[in-house]
Amino acid sequence: MVKSTIPPMFQVVVDKEKCRKCKRCVMSCSYGALGFTDRVVPDDKNCVACHRCVAMCPENAIMINESPLAYRPHASWTVEHRQGILKQAETGGMLLTGMGNDKPYKIFWDHLVIDACQVTNPSIDPLREPMELRTYLGSKPDKLEFETDKNGQPSLKTQLTPNILLETPIVFAAMSFGSISLNAHRALARAAYESGILMNTGEGGLHKDLYKYGERAIVQVASGRFGVHQEYLNQGSVIEIKVGQGAKPGIGGHLPGEKINSEVSQTRMIPIGSDALSPAPHHDIYSIEDLRQLIYALKEATNYQKPVSVKVSAVHNIAAIASGIVRAGADIVTIDGFRGGTGAAPTIIRDNVGIPIEMALAAVDDRLRKEGIRNQASIIAAGSIRSSGDWVKALALGADAVVIGTAALIAMGCRVCQKCYMGKCTWGIATQNPQLTARLNPEVATERLKNLIRAWSLELKEILGLLGVNSIESLRGNRERLRAIGLTDSEANILGVKHAGE
């Protein structure tokens, strides 16, 4: 095999004075970036900057630097372009990556600021007054009708459709068992269960050990139909038809055979070691009528007891698409923006296809309101919610709840090295290697996830307080409480916000 000529991205530096040669760093690295002779010997070209060795070193003896080996600067031929071409010239294959789009496109959350009460409309102290974060996902009636019986007792005449209660308006992103480890899935399921929110099985089914958390799970039905059966559908509290994913709109998925071990194979209902290929389209959906048929088939299969969500990627005509989805009978529309995470995607697609969630969300909320069908479905916004600040802004732009994926992974230990597709995650998350999966303690990961939800919810309450409202309902879709900084008129117009100072 010809030796690669591609320069390394990172440089591993071991402080010889501090190192006591315990080899923990060597044992912790699954990428082959550290060897040992009579001392630790780094192999920089294999380093992915996952930081596992740094975290494991008892002497703080390791530093990971960006490679000081500079390319001659060129505004057009960036280092990334040159590295990509060199790699493709060696392999002849597509470049793959993990996690969300890392290109420096404008992040609209960072150009929105939140209003606050001063003097007249007083703020509220969330430490002294209750704040209502509870949210119901599902279709709502436009009005309630009552009737009275012959004894004059009133009762509700309007037929209500099933809704799901979230204690705080957040759900964990769809991440399949297979793309992540069972320990990671277990932590997400249990943290969702104990926090009163929802996890999402992703497209790989639900392991039987996790059925006990099913009442807090969104069970996904994707184009590959992996792990989908009557029992699975009935375990979940929401059924989601996955049409698209923000990180790779318009294409299917591929979980390599080496990740299909016995448990993944049983859960997905495919042979051990076989590649799990999800087709780009659902082979039974080629029109909105087809989608409607599947929505109602799933409702029928679960006795009309569960809301059905449809998840789509944020693309330029998303408002019309969402309108069609609601009219087709979906109770929830989940929109995944182009910075949404993934276990594996062609880099060219992740970085160049789709639109930001901020724009898509505002456009969808506008359209559904204008058409008078906003109450018929909840909107869930996904695609790089990085903090409670992003969360608040998403709610103000019209989301009923948001999805967190990468933030949840980071809470469990992920360092966003973007190498999930290699299946060697040193933190035991995006891998099925038993030596690596054992590194993620599901008890600890559950607590860390619960802490994150709690911390963000406390921050959300503080922000509601400074806005002078005590309920999430008063914030939802209230764009008047946002202002734009550094946006063009047209961008602010799409988002439906005024400029700061207006």
| Chain contacts with ligand SF4 (rule: CB under 6 A) | 14, 19-25, 40, 50, 56-59, 61-62, 98-99, 409, 414-420, 425, 427, 429-430
How open is the CA angle 382-357-324, to the nearest 5 degrees?
85
Residue tagged 């969330």 (tokens): 126
Residue 389 beta carbon to ligand SF4: minimum distance, rounded to whole angstroms: 23
- In the complex with ligand SF4, the residue whose CB is nearer, 236 or 413, is 413
Q: How far is the CB of 259 from ligand SF4 (least distance, A)?
A: 12
Q: Which is nearer to ligand SF4, 398 or 442 (CB)?
A: 442
Report, in Å, the least distance between residue 53 CB and ligand SF4. 7
The residue among 190, 431, 403 whose CA lies nearest residue 309 is 403
Q: Is residue 384 within 8 Å of residue 357, measured between CB atoms?
A: yes
Minimum CB–partner distance for residue 91 and ligand SF4 (Å): 20
Q: Which is nearer to ligand SF4, 139 or 426 (CB)?
A: 426
Eight-class DSSP state of 162? P
What residue type is 232 in one-letter code?
Y
Nearer to ligand SF4 (CB atom), residue 40 or residue 270: 40
Closest of 38, 20, 16, 36 to residue 28, by C-alpha: 36
Kindly tell me which of 425 and 452 has the beta carbon lying closer to ligand SF4.
425
Nearer to ligand SF4, 427 or 456 (CB): 427
From the list 473, 438, 453, the residue with the least C-alpha distance to 408 is 453
CB of 22 to ligand SF4, least distance (A): 4
DSSP string, 242-277: E---TTSTT--EEE-GGG--HHHHHHHTS-TT--EE
State the nearest-atom distance from the C-beta of 490 to ligand SF4, in Å.
35
Residue 330 near residue 310, CB atoms below 8 Å: yes
Helix axes 442-467, 182-195, angle to 10 degrees: 40
CA distance 319 to 298: 24
Close Cβ partners of 43 (under 8 Å, ≥ 6 residues apart):
32, 33, 34, 35
Report in angstroms how near the CB of residue 95 gets to ligand SF4 at its nearest. 16
Identify which of residues 360 and 412 has a Cβ nearer to ligand SF4 in the complex.
Answer: 412
